[in-house]
Structure 1
Amino acid sequence: MSNDQHELREACAETSFPAIASPLVNQAIEQARTVASDPSAEGLHQLRITMRRLRSLWWAYRPLLDAGENTSQRELFRSLADTAGRTRDYDILIELLKLQREDWKALPPEILEARQKALDVGREVFSNPATKTQLLGVLSQTSDELVARQDRQPLQAFSDERVAISESQLRRRMRRASKAKRSNFAAFHDVRKAGKKARYLLELFGPVLSRGHRKTLNELKEVQKRFGALNDVVASENLLRDNAPLLAATGEPERTLKWFKQERERRLRAVAALIRKQWK
C-alpha cells in the first residue's frame, strides 16, 4: 500500500470529502468549458458521466448531510446530466435507425435538426457562468457542512458501509427483476440505475475499500453492457413516440415502431438471461 493510500484509509470521512469531491467538480467545470467553446456529442457524454458520478458521491454522503439540501443538490446534478446527455440520445437514435433502415441514403433533416437543437441547448447551458457558480457553491456548502460536524468516522468504514448498501440495493432490484415480466421495463431499468451507482462508488472509493468489493466491480461491467443496450432501444423508442413529427420523418412510422418493439424484446431476453445467470 502506498503512503497516500495509507493516509487516505486513516482519514475521516467528513474531512476527506473535499479531497474526493473537488477533482470531480473541477473536471465537470473543465468539461463544461470545453463543451461551451467546442461542443461535441462525446464531450457532452463525458460531462453527463461526471455529473452522474457527482450525484452518486452526494448520495453516499447523504446520511451525514441535511436531507433537503442533499436532495436538491443531487437533483441539480441529475438535471445537468440530462441536459448534457440529450445529444447523445439523438446519436443513439440515429445509429439504431441506420441499423433498421440500411437502405437510407441520408437521414431525415428533421432528425438532424432535433439533434443540432439538443447540441445548441447543451452549449448554452454549459457556457453560462451560473453553472460553474452552482457547482462550486454546492461543493463549498457540502464541504463546510461536513467539516463542521463534531462526530467523526473512519473513511474506510464509512466507504465500505455505503458501498455495501448500494450493492445490496442492486441485488434486491436484480431479484425483483428476475421475477418480473419482460414487459415490466421499469424493473429492469431500476437494475441499471442501481448498477451505475454501485459502480461509480466502487470507483470513487476504490483505494480505501476492503478487497471483498472488487468482484462486484467486474460483474457490473457485463450488467451495464447488456442493460445499456436495452436502455438505448427503449429510450430511442420513447423519443420517437413522444415526438410525432420526428416519428413521421422516418417515412414509415408503423414499420419503425414494429422494428423497435422487436429489438426491445430481443434485448430484454438477453437481459433476462443475464439475471437468471446471476440468480440461478
Structure 2
Amino acid sequence: MKDDDRTHEIAALGDGAQAESTFAALAAPLVDEALAQNASIHAEASPESLHQLRVALRRLRSLWWAYRPLLDKTENTRQRALYRFLADAAGRTRDWDILLELLTNAKDESGASSYLHEVPASLHEARERALATSRETLINADIRSVLHDALARTSKELNTAPERHALQKFAAARVRVAEKALRKRMRKASRAKRADDESLHDVRKSGKRVRYLIEFFGPALAGTSHEHTLKHLKNMQQCFGELNDVIASVALLRENMHLFASEEEAHEALTFLKRRRKQRQREAVRLLKKA
C-alpha cells in the first residue's frame, strides 16, 4: 500500500488526542485505497491490483479489531466479517495468479521435468473465470456504498459515545494485546515437533495485525521505538507470506488436477509445489527459532 498522511495527521493532534476522534483519520485513507484498487480491478485486474485490494481490506479488518473495545460487539464482528468476505472475493483470482507464477517459474528451474515446459492454457482460462466471479461479487456487493457506510456509522458511534479515551494509552494497550497474542502463537508454532501449517498461518496473521497496528498508531506510541519490531515483522511477513502462497497453490492445484493434459503433468506440478512447500516450511520454522 502506498504511503499516506495518516501518521502526520496523528502526530499533529498532539498529546491530547482521543482515540474516538482519530478513527476517521485512520480509516478514510484505507477506504479510499480499497475503492481505488477495486476500480483498477474492473478496468484491468492486474495481479498487483488484486493483491493491494486484499491488503487494504485486511488493514480495515485490523483497524476495526483495534477499536473493538469501543464499539458494539455485534456490529464490529459483522463489519470485520464483511471485509473478509470482500477480501476473499478478490483472493480467489489472486490465488490463481500465484499458482500460475509458481508454475511458470518451475519450468526454468534446474531439474524440472519436461512436463513443466509450459503452463496449460486451461489454467489461464480458469483464472479468467475466477476473475469474472470476483468482479461480479464485488459489483453486487456495492463496495463503495458498503465501505462509506461502515466508515460513517462507526465514526458516528465513536464520536457520540459518552466516554473518551486518550489515544496514546488506548493505542499502547491494543498493541500490547496484539503482541501478546503473537508471542503465544510463535511459541506454539516453534515447539511443534513437525511443521504445522495451521500454527504457522496463525503466526502470519498475528504478525500482520501487530505490524498494521504499529503503522496505524505510530506517533501515538510515545517513548517506544518500534523501528526494529517493524523490520522484523516485515521480514517475517515476507517469509510466512511465501509459505502461505505455496500452501494455497497446492490446495488450488489439487482441486483442478483435471485441467492438465495428462495425469503425469498434473502430478509433476503437484510434486514441485510440495517440494517448494517443504522448503518454505523449513525457512519459516528457522525464522521462528531465531526470534
Assess same fold via TM > 0.5.
yes
Deviation per CA, 1:220-244, whole angstroms, max 9, x where unpaired? 0111111111111111001112334
Checking the alignment, whether the CA contact within 8 Å between 1:237 and 1:257 is kept in structure 2 is yes
Residue in structure 2 matched with residue 190 of structure 1 by the alignment: 202
Residue of structure 2 aligned with 1:107, choices 114, 119, 128: 119
Distance apart, 1:18 and its partner CA: 1.4
| Alpha-carbon distance in 1 for matches of 2:254, 2:20 | 46
Checking the alignment, whether the CA contact within 8 Å between 1:36 and 1:123 is kept in structure 2 is yes
Change in Cα spacing, 1:202 to 1:252, as seen in structure 2 (3 Å) is same
Is 1:25 the counterpart of 2:37? The answer is: no
| Alpha-carbon distance in 1 for matches of 2:219, 2:262 | 50
| Alpha-carbon distance in 2 for matches of 1:119, 1:76 | 19
Q: What TM-score do you get using the length of structure 2 for normalisation?
A: 0.88
Residue in structure 2 matched with residue 153 of structure 1 by the alignment: 165
Checking the alignment, whether the CA contact within 8 Å between 1:111 and 1:246 is kept in structure 2 is yes
Residue of structure 2 aligned with 1:125, choices 111, 114, 137: 137
| Alpha-carbon distance in 2 for matches of 1:15, 1:214 | 26
Checking the alignment, whether the CA contact within 8 Å between 2:122 and 2:260 is kept in structure 1 is no
Residue in structure 2 matched with residue 203 of structure 1 by the alignment: 215
Residue in structure 2 matched with residue 87 of structure 1 by the alignment: 93
Is 1:218 the counterpart of 2:231? The answer is: yes
How many corresponding residue pairs? 278
Deviation per CA, 1:208-261, whole angstroms, max 9, x where unpaired? 223243321111011111111111111100111233424666752333322222
Is 1:41 the counterpart of 2:47? The answer is: yes
Deviation per CA, 1:71-116, whole angstroms, max 9, x where unpaired? 1100111111111222221121112212333454532122101111
Is 1:268 the counterpart of 2:274? The answer is: no
Q: Which moved more, 1:196-205 or 1:98-107?
A: 98-107
User: Matched residue of 1:205: which SS?
Assistant: helix
Structure 2: which amino acid aligns with 1:61?
Answer: Y
| Alpha-carbon distance in 1 for matches of 2:286, 2:50 | 32
Residue of structure 2 aligned with 1:69, choices 75, 79, 82: 75
Distance apart, 1:131 and its partner CA: 1.5
What are the ranges of 5 or more consecutive residues in structure 1 without an aligned counterpart?
none
Deviation per CA, 1:112-161, whole angstroms, max 9, x where unpaired? 01111122223333445722111111111111111111111111111111
Checking the alignment, whether the CA contact within 8 Å between 1:12 and 1:152 is kept in structure 2 is yes
Residue of structure 1 aligned with 2:84, choices 74, 78, 84: 78
| Alpha-carbon distance in 2 for matches of 1:57, 1:108 | 41
Change in Cα spacing, 1:158 to 1:253, as seen in structure 2 (3 Å) is same
| Alpha-carbon distance in 2 for matches of 1:3, 1:54 | 18
| Alpha-carbon distance in 2 for matches of 1:88, 1:13 | 34
Residue of structure 2 aligned with 1:54, choices 36, 42, 60: 60
| Alpha-carbon distance in 1 for matches of 2:210, 2:199 | 17
Is 1:256 the counterpart of 2:269? The answer is: yes
What are the ranges of 5 or more consecutive residues in structure 2 without an aligned counterpart?
1-6, 109-113
Q: What TM-score do you get using the length of structure 1 for normalisation?
A: 0.91
Residue in structure 2 matched with residue 165 of structure 1 by the alignment: 177
Checking the alignment, whether the CA contact within 8 Å between 2:104 and 2:118 is kept in structure 1 is no
Structure 1: which amino acid aligns with 2:126?
Answer: A
| Alpha-carbon distance in 2 for matches of 1:131, 1:37 | 15
| Alpha-carbon distance in 1 for matches of 2:263, 2:62 | 37
Is 1:233 the counterpart of 2:253? The answer is: no
Checking the alignment, whether the CA contact within 8 Å between 1:60 and 1:162 is kept in structure 2 is yes
User: Matched residue of 1:234: which SS?
Assistant: helix
